Homo-oligomer: A and B are copies of this chain.
């Protein structure tokens, strides 16, 4: 994922309705009609959110006769957690190193005092 992909992907998740659609699609694929009903959203509103999620690569759509079901792409979600985890793990490692240095210093300090 390049910078434009990451911008679009994170931005697509920064909306409660789109996150609700992702949560719903994680359980099974669904059409715009099937998504609109439980959310009490107009089909137009759902279509707009689906378009944003599709452009961001979070979901794909297939054609099955008249139906055009939407499918969540787990690989796209994994790419995002991959990005976040790189820096989360790096930061955690730095804090652990700092904790290690601090406890060594405290240990030396208490030895010198005794």
Which positions in A face B, CB cutoff 8 Å? 3, 6-11, 13-16, 19, 22-23, 25-28, 72, 74, 77-78, 80-81, 83-88, 90-92, 94-95
Q: Which of B10, B23, B81, B85 contacts A10 (CB 8 A)?
A: B10
List the B residue with the shortest CB-CB distance to A93: B26
Q: Is the interface of A mostly helix, strand, loop or mixed?
A: helix
19 more A-B contacts (CB under 8 A) besides A10-B14, A14-B14, A19-B83? A6-B16, A7-B14, A7-B15, A8-B14, A9-B14, A10-B10, A10-B11, A23-B86, A23-B87, A26-B86, A27-B90, A28-B94, A77-B84, A77-B85, A77-B87, A77-B88, A80-B84, A81-B88, A84-B84
Q: How far is the CB of A76 from chain B (nearest CB, A)?
A: 9
Q: Which of B9, B25, B81, B87 contacts A22 (CB 8 A)?
A: B87
Known contacts A7-B14, A10-B14, A27 near B88 by CB under 8 Å? no
